[in-house]
């Protein structure tokens, strides 16, 4: 396949209408990615909370 034919095929593939199955599969993939991002953010927030609770305890002990 020549470069021209490859380019034409690529452009046609980009411009064609997607099937319902393709749209759903892409949306499902994006939902999994957003869930993983949210879980990462939750883990980070939980660690930050624990760090600050430990820090507060340590500082209170030193103050008393």
Per-residue pLDDT tens over the stretch 51-60: 999 999 999 9
For 10, the 3-state DSSP assignment is helix
Per-residue pLDDT at 64 = 87
The domain locations on the chain are: 3-63
Per-residue pLDDT at 35 = 98
Per-residue pLDDT tens over the stretch 15-28: 999 999 999 999 99
Structural tokens at position 54:
């430990």
SS3 string, the chain, reads CCHHHHHHHHHHHHHCCCCHHHHHHHHHHHHHHHHHHHHHHHHHHHHHHHHHHHHHHHHHHHHC
């Amino acid at each position: 396949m020549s470069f021209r034919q490859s380019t034409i095929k690529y452009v046609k593939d980009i411009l064609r209408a997607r099937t319902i199955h393709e749209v759903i599969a892409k949306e499902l993939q994006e939902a999994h990615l957003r869930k993983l991002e949210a879980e990462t953010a939750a883990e980070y927030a939980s660690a930050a909370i624990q760090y600050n609770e430990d820090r507060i305890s340590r500082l209170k002990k030193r103050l008393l």
